[in-house]
Structure formats: C-alpha cells, structure tokens
Amino acid sequence: MSGYVSDAVIRRLPGYYRHLRELEAAGVRQISSQELGRRMQLTPSQIRQDINCFGGFGRQGYGYTVSDLKEHIGDILGLSQPHRVIILGAGNIGGAVANYPTFAREGFQTQAVFDIDEEKIGTNVGGAEVLPMTALEEYLKEHTADIAVLAVPAREAQTALDRLYIGGVRAVWNFAPTDLNHPEDMIVVNVHLSDSLQILSYRMAHRRTE
C-alpha cells in the first residue's frame, strides 16, 4: 500500500465495497475491471488505479475474485473489527442511525443512546437503552466508545463534542448543522443534510439554464 491515498479514492471505497457485496450475494465469483467499471460508472483504468493504491489484488486477463476483493476493501475500511458506537440525541436522526440495519451488519454496534428528554430516557432505540445526557461522563469512565454520533441541535453540538473529547472519544460522526472546533487528534466527519439538498437544487437549476 502506498503512503498517500487521495480523498477521492477514499470516498470511492465504500462504493466498491457495496457493489462487491451485492455481487457476492448474487453468486458472482469473478469480475473484470471493465464490468466493475460499468456498474460504478468509472473507467476500467480508474478501477485499476484505485485498487492498486492498496496492492495488486487482481490478475491480468482474469480480473478480481469478488469475495477476496470485498474482504480486502473491508479490511482497508476497518470493517474487519467491531466498532462500539454511542449516539447523542434520540430524535429523528439519532433514531434512524440506531435502527439502520446495515450498520450492525458491518460491525457498528450501538451501545447506548443519550438524550435530555425525560420521556425518552429508559426507552429502547435500535436495541440500545436511552440514558440521560447527564450520565455521559460516568458512562465513558466505565465503557469505551470508538465512535460517537452527534445528533443534537446546533447550539448544543460544540459542548457535546467537548464532553466527548474529555471522555476519551476520538471519532465523531456529526449530524448537527454546524462546523465544530476539535483537537487535531479527534476525527470529525460532518454530515450536513441541507448541503446535499442544496447541491441537488443547484444542479437542477443549472441543468435547466444550460
């Protein structure tokens, strides 16, 4: 594997994994870069360049073994080991994340959900108990959380992130509609839903004008 892999390649890896998983489920054993490229709307050369960033997994004239390549990409994505997840916010977004079945199949196990709503505390969301937000620090003293999902209002997000950092959490999936300040040793991936919708709106508008 080379020392540097571009963000563009990294963003394509989940697509490779998803398509290969579908192919494996369909009983496909071998696939060429041409066939995989057609599925993913990429050129064969792009497929080969991306995969070669992590070593040579195919054979010329033979293509790729679907199950082996899926396993290799899963390892690259860190899916070969389970990830313990906590969710801050038991509302619509937090509940959707907790209940999304694919996450559990890929090793993202929701251990606990936190909320300030007394009516939600003590209930079950996606198989995890909803705990009071005030119990977060005590929980993190006794349990390890690999990833925290931040699904709280924007005004509460920075404080929540600071509490997570103090508690030892170093990876955050942020759904709060705000950009957060975080230390260099903390990984934060932002999911701004309105941004995606606005990009779609832009493309629709400019397609009409073009």
Please name which of 59, 79, 105 lies closest in space to residue 14, comparing C-alpha atoms. Answer: 79
Please name which of 177, 133, 182 lies closest in space to residue 154, comparing C-alpha atoms. Answer: 177
- Tokens at 192, concatenated: 């701004």
Q: pLDDT at position 104, please?
A: 86
- Residue where a domain terminates, one of 47, 76, 105: 76
**Same domain, yes or no, for 46 and 90?**
no
pTM: 0.84
Q: What are phi and psi of 189, to 5 degrees?
A: -110, 120
* Look-up of token digits 């997840």: 85
Tally of structural domains, the chain: 2
- Tokens at 178, concatenated: 């705000």
Q: Distance (Å, rounded) from C-alpha 137 to C-alpha 144?
A: 11
Q: pLDDT at position 61, please?
A: 63
pLDDT in tens, the chain (210 residues): 445 788 899 999 999 999 999 999 999 999 999 999 999 999 999 998 998 888 767 666 678 999 999 999 999 999 988 999 999 999 999 999 999 988 888 889 999 999 999 999 999 999 999 999 999 999 999 999 999 999 999 999 999 999 999 999 999 999 999 999 999 999 999 998 888 889 899 889 887 665
**Same domain, yes or no, for 15 and 69?**
yes
